[in-house]
Structure 1
């Protein structure tokens, strides 16, 4: 039986003015960026078959959607092309079904055991961050999962209530504040042990009503998110990926769209830092879509938006990135102290927005603007409660200054960064010190005692944190 021609795909190609051979070449480039090596051999013949009604196999649908989205953006038509837009099956439907079938409580307990066991953790720590294993959801996956989650109930014999939810939130806030001050590696074992024991017991208990159940799963999702974030800050990326996935499943159980957006934003941040802008933008786009953005508080919308802006910049969408920055600034202006906003965004302030804005401007090549925003971040942040972030900001500011040729200013800034790192256990902070030594390498022969002293201090910090 002959296949029906895919007129939707054909129409998008005509809109772009791409031949099938041109489409194949663009797709190959995106595939290389995405690490989809099997798609490097895609040819005009493959595209021809898709237009004639064949369905791409494996990750080809997702890569094709990304290729067409970028093509349209390059022509001034900002549009995220979905599988449905080009007459194909959503490649994430199967992943979404798998997500709904996994028990997040069992996954939490199992991953907690891996995290706490030195041998199992060493094995996972040696694993690479996996784009192939990353769940890149479609825009509707979360609603489908949340709907399925409503049908599940627990059958344990004891009951938890609002006081237990409050206790979990209190512990999460304490650990969050500690992470901001001391870095992700400090206190992780206690965090994970609490998740695996107390929190797993809470989730397995009976609840007096649906509202308490949702609040408990939200609170658990926030702590699982923190486990993922602290692993990311400790440079344990495969472990972070797994914890963030658990947190995402818990947010679906809670039917908490803003929390899902918060977690997807963290996944985009991690993916971006690891050098995968295409996947990071996909995650960031989903984080600011529908209820994940509209139901969030202004402060959280600003946080989601500024990471979206940096992802757009990294993917080469300059004008959209600038527009997203302006929107994030506007959202933060509407945030008022005392608003009904989740405690998880306590850290996000003018200083945080300036930090992410600086990183976006740096990607866009505006080094003066990046330096100005990093300086604003340093100036407006309370250094002691946010020592880890303060140290990272100073490290990145020094990197911009030396890019501009201001070596003396960079050395002075990096000296402040090393001061701020006393007691901080953070892989991300450590990365700025390692980069500092690399950047200073060309100047070592003529830097005198000041540079030599700075380099010695940097080596000491590297040895301590490692």
Structure 2
């Protein structure tokens, strides 16, 4: 069930089907946790699975800009992971909390939580793929507080971790989405935040090129939005408009506050040139405004 809901989230965004996830968690799954178990191994597996679903509830709320609600579910997920004695699961959730804190502009808190996510068994017992995910968000948190050298070092470690992942690894289902495209996306965000716009553009392009957009549509749209923003900051307005047009094409059927924010950001970035009679700018601004109105 968690795998199914995770794929719905990746395809349609956190605003789609989140109510069904919460309903399943608070009824069926809560009843399972209050039941009897044949042995402690089964109990821990059940609590770990419940923690993963609680994490997904939080992630979908985060993607839909329901931040207080997201924090509540993330906290529940960490508690369930502790009950399961599942350190990598706890690290995975702390990583999400750090990601949220970066997005909300709380860099100090983001770094504290990101550091906790890569401490001890949370990192040591994780598979290489999950280590890479923890590490690249740690890099983003380091970039957010201005620790450029440490951020670059964390990026290199995350790249090494993902490179060491093998098909035979017993990866948890929660990291099914994380591969080259996701690593490139987070790497690009880190490079952007430390001022390396050329490197950021290269990595955003790598992410767009390597992602299976039909399955991971929400993140694909957000990546294109970020790429367009970097291009605009570099003065390539026409190139940015072409990229943003592709982003809007991808947003059809997406219910995600992060996708909406990319549309808002593109309109803001275009505002200085909106009155210059450039047809591409006018058309894109109209499309972005229509998307925001339809997805409100």
Matched, 1:345 2:175: yes
1:102 alignment partner in structure 2: none
Task: Tell me, in whole angstroms, the C-alpha distance in 2 between the residues paired with 1:455 and 1:358.
Answer: 25
Structure 2 residue aligned with 1:217, among 30, 47, 50? 47
Matched, 1:427 2:257: yes
2:25 alignment partner in structure 1: 195
**Counterparts of residues 125-140 of structure 1 (less than 5 Å):** none
TM-score w.r.t. length of structure 2: 0.99
**CA-CA distance at 1:339 after TM superposition:** 1.3
* Gap regions ≥5 residues in structure 2: none
Task: Tell me, in whole angstroms, the C-alpha distance in 2 between the residues paired with 1:465 and 1:212.
Answer: 42
- Given that 2:238 and 2:280 are in contact with CA atoms closer than 8 Å, whether structure 1 keeps it comes out as no
Task: Tell me, in whole angstroms, the C-alpha distance in 2 between the residues paired with 1:268 and 1:279.
Answer: 7
Matched, 1:175 2:26: no
**CA-CA distance at 1:447 after TM superposition:** 4.2
* Runs of 4+ in structure 1 over 3 Å off: none
* Alignment length (residue pairs): 296
Higher helix share: 2
1:413 alignment partner in structure 2: 243
1:228 alignment partner in structure 2: 58
Matched, 1:276 2:106: yes
- Given that 2:267 and 2:285 are in contact with CA atoms closer than 8 Å, whether structure 1 keeps it comes out as yes
TM-score w.r.t. length of structure 1: 0.63
Residues 241-284 of structure 1: CA deviation (Å, up to 9, x unaligned): 10101111000000000000000000000001000110100000
2:97 alignment partner in structure 1: 267
1:185 alignment partner in structure 2: 15
Matched, 1:256 2:256: no
SS of equivalent residue, structure 1 residue 365: coil
1:130 alignment partner in structure 2: none
SS of equivalent residue, structure 1 residue 359: helix
Matched, 1:401 2:231: yes
Residues 277-327 of structure 1: CA deviation (Å, up to 9, x unaligned): 101000000000000000000000000000000101111111111110000
- Given that 2:118 and 2:134 are in contact with CA atoms closer than 8 Å, whether structure 1 keeps it comes out as yes
Structure 2 residue aligned with 1:360, among 180, 190, 194? 190
* Gap regions ≥5 residues in structure 1: 1-170
SS of equivalent residue, structure 1 residue 382: coil
Task: Tell me, in whole angstroms, the C-alpha distance in 1 between the residues paired with 2:189 and 2:269.
Answer: 18
Task: Tell me, in whole angstroms, the C-alpha distance in 2 between the residues paired with 1:382 and 1:269.
Answer: 22
Matched, 1:208 2:208: no
**Counterparts of residues 81-160 of structure 1 (less than 5 Å):** none
Structure 1 residue aligned with 2:276, among 436, 442, 446? 446
Task: Tell me, in whole angstroms, the C-alpha distance in 1 between the residues paired with 2:170 and 2:294.
Answer: 41
Matched, 1:311 2:141: yes
SS of equivalent residue, structure 2 residue 212: coil
